[in-house]
Chains A and B, each alone.
Chain A
């Protein structure tokens, strides 16, 4: 690319021989005279034309490396960004990440969204997609197991499970149990602790787990049951206080991946799914607090 650009510039410079143009002087006051304006516009047109050629070449060049459209549950977006960076460096392919709640991505996949791969936050939706023939049979696997954390932005607020039991004011944020797997898990935790009925008046629901975290991080909700991976996320630099919810209090949040029909002909899509099982990818996931199935 760099060479082509230099070439394009050289060509445009040749087209305007009357001004001794040095690259980078386009905006300088030197070329603001009446004569300058005329030559300036010729120069711009030439330059634009050259750029268009470069862009076209660029587009066709990128068609040789493959793009993979990855639909990803919002809780896994940041670790995936890190994994994607390494994957792209290793293979030269490009990952295009689309994030939303698992429920939304599922509905979009069913209605013909151009996704090659789905990384869901549960096992339910990938199983459904497999049964409905939208996912490719036999490509489904658990790429990570998520954990739930009771978190507050206030560093002194949470003292273990008691903070939930004693809650009598403020808001407790959870993700929507109907659409978000971490919301479902949060519901199970409250039910198994026998607190669902008592805490219901304090509940606010995030549309997905990212919005749930945002409710707590902004202080709009004092407490929140969020994904451990979010609290561990180095980009967020979250402090506050937390209680790690025992895994016995909810069904494991098995996050499953599946190849979609759309990606069947895409070699890079299959390669990427295999890459998710690599130790390089697992190290990144682990740093976010995800667990794995014992093999």
Chain B
């Protein structure tokens, strides 16, 4: 074979996708998790259920809706196309959008548990001492919830890395843009290039194992409930 044994591009792409997704998720999952942890609204259960949906839905359901939503005639893809000239399907941005939904529960739930165990008192104390809400959050709450954050980052990252069904349906297999590591493995198996498939799969297996070991050791040190 004249090609190099392993193409690094899909690995790099997967890492980028997971990184960007986790960053975006941290920004909008934090207020959401905070609200879930402290609200008394009766809509709480509804929001909790919606957040947990990607855990139980098959990726094909999400992929199907994404295909319609992100395409040139979709509610999201249409306006984006009008603005930028191209819709979100078959693009890196589209995958980021899909991943943000797909990995949402993996980031929200650890944060939710962490905020719940921190409780309302530290925030109220800090505010009574004159700190603004934002200041109190960053200098008091987030350090207290740092293990929740670590779990959220690690799980969100790993779960996005393992994304397959959704990408298969809205990705279009474009090298460097949407051909992520799981799709690469699938392709290699299809054309019977088992050596490459083995190397990539074993790599992913080892990585996932290490990630989970990390998560469990974090949880041991501080029992933050991750459900």
Contact = CB atoms under 8 A, between A and B. Distances in A.
Interface of A: 101, 103-104, 107, 169-171, 173, 176, 178-179, 203-207, 215, 218-221
27 contacts: A103-B191, A104-B190, A107-B189, A107-B190, A169-B86, A171-B90, A173-B172, A176-B190, A178-B187, A178-B191, A179-B187, A179-B191, A203-B174, A204-B90, A204-B173, A204-B174, A205-B172, A205-B173, A206-B173, A207-B168, A218-B73, A219-B71, A219-B72, A219-B73, A220-B71, A220-B87, A220-B90
Interface string B63-85: 00001101111000000000001
Contacts of A219: 71-73
B89 interface: yes
Interface in B173-189: 173-174, 187, 189
A221 B90 contact: yes
B192 interface: yes
Given A171-B172, A221-B90, 20 more contacts: A101-B190, A103-B190, A103-B191, A104-B190, A107-B190, A170-B86, A178-B187, A179-B187, A179-B190, A179-B191, A204-B173, A205-B172, A205-B173, A215-B90, A218-B73, A219-B71, A220-B71, A220-B72, A220-B87, A220-B170
A204 B187 contact: no
A220 B174 CA distance: 14
Given A169-B86, A219-B73, A220-B87, A176 B173 contact: yes
Contacts of B67: 218, 220
Nearest to B192: A107
Nearest to A179: B190
B30 to A, nearest CB: 33
A84 B189 CA distance: 31
Contacts, number: 53
Contacts of A221: 90, 172
| Interface size bracket, B side | 20 to 34
Interface string B97-140: 00000000000000000000000000000000000000000000
A157 to B, nearest CB: 13
Interface string B131-171: 00000000000000000000000000000000000001010
Secondary structure call for the A interface: loop
Interface of B: 67-68, 70-73, 85-87, 89-90, 168, 170, 172-174, 187, 189-192
Contacts of B85: 169
Interface centre among B86, B172, B192 (most CB of A within 10 A): B172
What are the 8 A-B residue pairs with the smallest beta carbon separation, nearest first?
A204-B172, A205-B173, A220-B71, A220-B89, A204-B90, A179-B190, A103-B190, A178-B191
B97 to A, nearest CB: 14
B173 A207 contact: yes
A218 B68 contact: yes
B172 A215 contact: yes
A104 B186 CA distance: 10
B179 to A, nearest CB: 9
Contacts of A206: 172-173
A103 B188 CA distance: 11
